[in-house]
Amino acid sequence: MLNFNTITAIFVVLLIALIGIHIFYGFSYYIFGILIAVYAVALAYGSYNVRSNFYIKTISSAKTNRKQIAISFDDGPATAYTPEILKVLKEHNVQAAFFCIGKKIRENEVLLKQVHEEGHIIGNHSYSHDLWFDLFSSRKMTEDIRMMSDAMQKVIGLKPKLFRPPYGVTNPNLKKAIQKENYISVGWNIRSMDTVIKDTRKLLAKVTGSLKPGAVVLFHDTSKSTLDILSGFIQHAREKGYEIVRLDKLLNLEPYA
């Protein structure tokens, strides 16, 4: 699979070759523009496709034929919907993964403890989840990720091992930060789009129609739409023969350092 290093090496080789050809034979400068544009598109694709493994290996599903899936939630803990989502999960005896934002922990410490005590795992989703997080320097990213880890440790005494990139965006700076802090990057292969799709029938149809063995489903415990369909999704998945297992068990990963 093509990654950042391979694409960059190919770009440099082609650029040098074009410069040489231009010196000896000459041609339109538009060719250089086309090469640079193609390179930029490749970088953008790699950055915004969390499953591409373009900059860093990101585990987004399990390679299995067994009908097992995992449910994950981003952006909590939140008083608005996390408690109700926890109630639904408990009613259906389902354990999930919650990738939490560090700055939300201070005002929701009891809720974070509840997530942990009810058997769910907690991952790092950055401290700030800043809109410009992907433009941070590697040092600033490292500090941000570490702050979330520290906030979580103070509450439940555990340091997360799993990290989910904010917005699913990766780049060389984030790679350095993740590796420095010894995290495992975790993505998804079914994105519910529950922050965009408000029609619960469409949302439920989207996620149930995408089910496949080894899938990691991305929801948000800040979304009312997710709360509204969660019970139906769990029931549908089980009716189709799927077992819902905890993320770390599906991917065979240690959730804590």
pLDDT value at position 225? 97
Clarify whether residues 39 and 77 are in a common domain.
Answer: no
CA neighbours within 13 Å on the CB side: how many for 157?
1
**Tokens linked to 139:** 């040092």
Range of the domain at 230: 58-251
Residue 74 lies in a domain: yes
Same domain, 92 and 21: no
Domain check: are 35 and 111 in the same one? no
Give the residue from 163, 215, 214 showing the smallest Cα distance to 184.
Answer: 163
Residues 12 and 93 in one domain: no
Specify if 256 maps to a domain: no
User: In angstroms, rounded to a whole number, what is the distance separating the alpha carbons of residues 118 and 2?
Assistant: 41
Q: What is the pLDDT of residues 109-124, one digit of tens each?
A: 999 999 999 999 999 9
Residue 1 pLDDT > 80: no
Question: What angle separates helix 82-91 from helix 224-239, to the nearest 10 degrees?
Answer: 20
Residue 30: Cβ within 10 Å count: 8
CB burial of residue 9 (10 Å; 0-12, 13-18, 19+): exposed
User: Are 10 and 124 within one domain?
Assistant: no
How far apart are the C-alpha atoms of 97 and 146, rounded to whole Å?
19
User: Residue 109 falls within a domain, yes or no?
Assistant: yes
Q: What is the mean pLDDT of residues 10-35?
A: 90
Strand partners, 122: 98
Instruction: Judge whether residue 93 has pLDDT over 90.
Output: yes
Residues 207 and 121 in one domain: yes
* Cβ 226 vs Cβ 220: under 8 Å: yes
Position 226 scores a pLDDT of: 98
HSE-CB for 194 with a 13 A CA cutoff:
25
Q: What is the mean pLDDT of the chain?
A: 96
* Same domain as 68, residue 135: yes
Q: Has residue 220 been placed in a domain?
A: yes
Residue 214 belongs to some domain of the structure: yes
- Based on the domain organization, do 244 and 221 belong to the same domain? yes
Of all residues in the chain, the percent with pLDDT exceeding 70 is 100
Confidence band for 197, pLDDT divided at 50, 70 and 90: very high
Q: How far apart are CA 34 and CA 250, in angstroms?
A: 43
CA dist., res. 235 & res. 215, Å (int): 16
In the predicted model, is pLDDT for residue 27 greater than 80?
no
> Do both 29 and 62 map to the same domain?
no
Model pLDDT, residue 230: 98
Q: Which residues pair with 254 in a beta bridge?
A: none
In this structure, the answer to whether residues 100 and 150 fall within a common structural domain is yes
Which CATH number characterizes residue 97's domain? 3.20.20.370
Distance CA 99, CA 116 (A): 12
| Residue 54: per-residue pLDDT | 96
The answer on 195 and 240 residing in a single domain is: yes
Nearest to 62 by CA among 233, 252, 236, 218: 252
State the pLDDT confidence band at 224, using cuts at 50, 70 and 90.
Answer: very high
> How many folded domains does the chain comprise?
2
Q: Are residues 186 and 212 in the same domain?
A: yes
**How large is the average pLDDT for residues 62-82?**
97
162-175 tens-digit pLDDT? 999 999 999 999 99
Question: Above 90 in pLDDT, residue 22?
Answer: no
